[in-house]
Amino acid sequence: MHSTRITFSNPILKDRIEVLQHTSEKLIFRTYLEPGGGQTDLHYHTQIEEKFTVIRGTLSLYLGTEETLLTTKQSAIALPFCSHRFFNNSNEVVIFDVEILQPKQTLCALKILYGIAEHGKITRDGLPKNKLHLAIALKMMDAYSPKIPQQLQHTAILLLAGFGKFLGVQKKLVTMYCSS
């Protein structure tokens, strides 16, 4: 388990993440989500299951095609292949925990995405402008958009991430954002 406190933020998503637990079996992080903040697009994972538990406030969460409002002590789970996104429609900061079982490289991917965001190299959707950076992070966190056929995305992400690895881009990103 990680003993040092790890925190990072994304100015576009208007959130701050604090890692509470990180092992090969489980990643738990606390998210502080500002009013009007959150993910802009739905996404899904093919192997990752995410559990969202509200600590304080009201979290808006799309699971599949339904919007769910979670309040203090309520939880919801996004199973593999379930499209989801979270956001804050309230006027208060929402605090919630995200638990991921078998996280693989998810923490490093989050560090890369948030590190790039902190350096201002992101689109207005909060994603990296550099397509190699985006593909590497998406591959690491097993994330896909329901708007694009999964096989097409999988192939494109594998090719771009593989090219980025070949060029040394992945090693550079991991060294820059994940080594600490």
Domain ranges for the chain, please list them.
6-101, 106-178
Contact 62, 13 (CB under 8 A): no
Bridge pairing between strands 6-10 and 15-22:
antiparallel
- Looking at residues 32-59, what average pLDDT do you find? 96
32: CB partners within 8 A, 6+ apart:
15, 16, 17, 18, 93, 94, 95
Give the closest residue to 118 by CA, choosing from 10, 37, 22, 12.
10
Contact 52, 75 (CB under 8 A): yes
Say yes or no to pLDDT of 136 above 50: yes
Give the closest residue to 156 by CA, choosing from 136, 141, 177, 140.
136
Instruction: Quickly state the pLDDT bin for 1 (edges 50, 70, 90).
Output: very low
Sign of the Cα pseudo-torsion (123, 139, 179, 86, in order): positive
Residue 113 to residue 35: CA distance in whole angstroms: 21
Give the closest residue to 57 by CA, choosing from 30, 82, 26.
30
Superfamily for 6-101? Jelly Rolls (2.60.120.10)
pLDDT digits (tens, 9 = 90+) for 99-123: 999 999 999 999 999 999 999 999 9
Is the entire prediction scored with pTM above 0.75? yes
> Both tokens of residue 92?
């208060």
Contact 135, 157 (CB under 8 A): yes
